[in-house]
Amino acid sequence: MELQTDIHIEAAKIQNEIKDFLGLKSSELIFDYSMLDGKTKLDLITINPRHNQSFLFKSILGFDKTDALNKMLDYVRVHKEKEGSYTIQWTTRGMNELQTSYFRAKNIYDALDKLYYGRDMNNITVFSVVLNPIA
């Protein structure tokens, strides 16, 4: 009798590969799963330890948790470099200093969506969004 692969162990293995590829600590990455139209949606969220803010890294749909994770792993390995690099300078109400954050995104709207993810847009002031030159 063949032993079935434990999906939780498989998921943890892929999550670790993603974390290692991005060079982040476990405390700087959140894998947030939800259902959308019968599919598994994975929101990969990064936490910047410098200003203790979280940002959307990428959202991906899959048939199940493992499929979504494998698609995310493919994204971080291959497709991430095909997107533009943006620098956004911003602040939130009550924060006295300007913050600088960096995003990979398809376009300026995608970059701003990643900044605003899970936040009240009325509490954030964006001072600049710059598409970084290609090195």
pLDDT digits (tens, 9 = 90+) for 87-115: 999 998 888 889 999 999 999 999 999 99
Ordered by where they begin, the domains of the chain are 1-82 (3.30.160), 83-135 (no CATH)
Residue 94: HSE in the Cβ half-sphere, 13 Å Cα cutoff: 2
* Contact between residue 59 and residue 42 where contact means Cβ atoms under 8 Å apart: yes
Decide: helix, strand or coil at residue 23.
coil
**Cα distances (angstroms) measured from residue 60 to each of 40, 68, 70, 71:** 8, 6, 10, 7
Quick one: pLDDT at residue 135?
62
How many of the other CB atoms lie within 10 Å of CB of 133? Answer: 6
Quick one: pLDDT at residue 79?
77
Dihedral over Cα of 39, 58, 109, 97: its sign: positive
pLDDT digits (tens, 9 = 90+) for 38-72: 999 999 999 988 878 899 999 999 999 999 999 99
